[in-house]
Structure 1
Amino acid sequence: MAVSNSSSNKLLLSLFCFISIIIGFQLKASAQSDGDSSGTCNSNLRNVLPSPYSDLSSLACSPIWERKFSFSFFEDGKNVMTFVLSGKHDHKWIGIGFSRDGHMEGSSAVVAWVESNGVSGIRQYYLGGKNMSKVIPDKGDLRFTSVSPVVVVRGDLIYIAFQLQFATSVADQHILLAIGSENPLQNGLLPKHINKTTTLIELSSGQKVAPNVQRRYHGLTAIIGWGIITPSGLMIARYFRHIKPIWYYLHSSVQFVGFFVGIISISIGRNLYEKTDFPNPTHRFVGYTAFFLAGLEVCQFIGRPSMDSKRRPYWNFAHHWVGRTAMVTAVLNICVGFNGNRTDNQDLKIGFAMALVTLLTVMIVLETRLRRENAIPKTIVDQPPVFRVVDEH
């Protein structure tokens, strides 16, 4: 038994509302839990650290690394940066590396640990490679000031504070964070880490931290939703319309999935902007434009008139061109986002380029095939032949 257009529209509308509610609850729960899980940003450093680390009333603080740690920093105007890293003390050593390009090789790090007898230690290491022998103690490019570094354990929290002298004012800095399960050896060699991450910190503002992981999720969901799924749904509608009625349901389902993944990407991007004041207004404006056009497509789908309606030609025109404009706008906005992203996510750029080339190649092949089929005149199979063969037998 065939399903009417009205019934299918009601079914898809109910599905749309249901998924919207689920996403709304998920985003609300994420926002509620989007706090400093370590709790150290709310700590009173005057009760924990000695002077001068406890006298920094203007110290900026932000949670990093899935909010397990808090990173605080302050510049005194003379290119001297004060850093305080704090978090749960459930590991042996913590390393804070300073990199030029986000990579470990060639960078320098400050490593802190606490012995079983409660004695703490802090040391500089040169990260020449990933092998233990290439992580050289008491070497590196970091210049400490006359203020001694401090490692303090208070309850289940650890605080690592130190000052560095830079040659010039630092606007952005790639920070490498790593933790280990064993203390440094007697000869100073550092056992291999058990977990690590890289974060780009915008020191110029003195207030915001740019989490690289969150930027990565934003870019990944944008590529999947706006750059892969949505164009695939458009290609289904254009090149597989002859497969009735499967093309319609497949096209609608794919576009809905792409739209919801796009919503997730925009939600992450909005949350990221509120934390970092990411200076790329063009990316935000174009992104909201693509989202508005995509939402308009959903509204058009819900209000789709019947085939014999006088409004159907106008609806077809609006549906086709709004959808295409939304897709092109979204894909271009991904490129704009990459252009303004200073993090080292080359794998995302390469993956997006490969996906875009693949989609364009498939589209060219299908478009060529469609135009050739339209150029061939269709024969009328029911038309009687010009010559008739009479069977004499």
Structure 2
Amino acid sequence: MAITMVSSPALVFLVVASFLCTSTQAQRSSCDNSFSFFEEGIAGNVTHCRKLRTLGAELGWSYRNTTPNVTVNIVFSAIPSAAGGWVAWGLNPGSKPQMVGTRALIAFRRANGTLEMNTYNLTRDTMLGCKLQPSPIEVQVRNMQANYSEETGAVTMSAALSLDPSTYNISELKHVWQVGSSVVDQVPQKHRMRLKNFDSFEIIDLTTGRGFRDTGLAKQRDAHGVLSVFGWGILLPIGVIVKRYSRNISKNQEVWFMLHVSFQISGYTVGITAWGIGLALMSNSWHFNTFKGHRTIGIIIFCLATLQMMALWLKPSKTNEGDTNTTDRRRRYWGVYHQLVGYTLITLITVNIFKGFAILRPPPVWKWMYVGLLAALSCVAFGLEVAIWVKQCRNAKNSSP
């Protein structure tokens, strides 16, 4: 019996691990030398084309070695996240492809339907919410053009850039792209706070068209998600079911109690590992502070789970009265508290896992697989509750005169 119950969550763990590891891999595909969003003729000088991994954006380019700088013709296309929004693409001369420090091109439609395109310096003040104003950049930009497609809703930008090879290496070019939902008084407003917006960066090799990114953050997300689902979302609920219904399954309570403790300790150990990785994600990435609800519930889960684990040492001991083994008043009160905290913990865990799904946005099938797992555990618990009720009714009927 114990072997069957342990192997089942292990199988689910492998499935969940598989989906989280695969779902966070960027879906890359190349495009031919034309863009589905572009008006005919706009990408005339493009010799390379690439579909970027987030926000449905596409980038086309050509380059030639000139003296003293390299001339790069770029065409960028994306659909703003709402009507009246904006699109942006830029280069970062720093050590990382990130928003702060990016020299950007941003285009949007004015209220009269015409398009505006300017250069911008994105600074830390921009990240903190200061008004974003057009400003000159050290990159020489020529032939800036913008186009809007009524059919697709895409905004397309094109320009010729003169890049200093000592600052911008075309084999390791750090570029960033973004879309926004609104423009107020000709000022682009903040973009949406979603992972796909935060992940819109990479290092690209213009000579081959390959894009690269640091996979460390993605691996941490994978580990956080896998361990959270397996520890908090699978092992702990199974441990609760084992404890609640074991007295009606077998008279050997010692074995079932140890099985309950094993599930709870294992789930807690895996869960706090996931929690620790979550703390690391928050400390290493400023944007993870955006997901305050998920973070707050995670902290509450850690505190309540730690409190539950202390039951191994704080649970009042049994006392003997006459020839029978009874529970004193403190033990009864403690039992009510322990169950209340346990059920609250399971509820918060379920809510937070679904919040995690909303943040990571994996393919819907995986969320429904977790729903199916919850439904299966709920059916098991409901069936055991019915069995207990039927057994109690029969015992009451047999004992009545």
Instruction: Using structure 2 for the length normalisation, give the TM-score.
Output: 0.49
TM-score (norm. length: structure 1): 0.50
Q: Which has the higher contact order (CA 8 A, sep 6+)?
A: 2
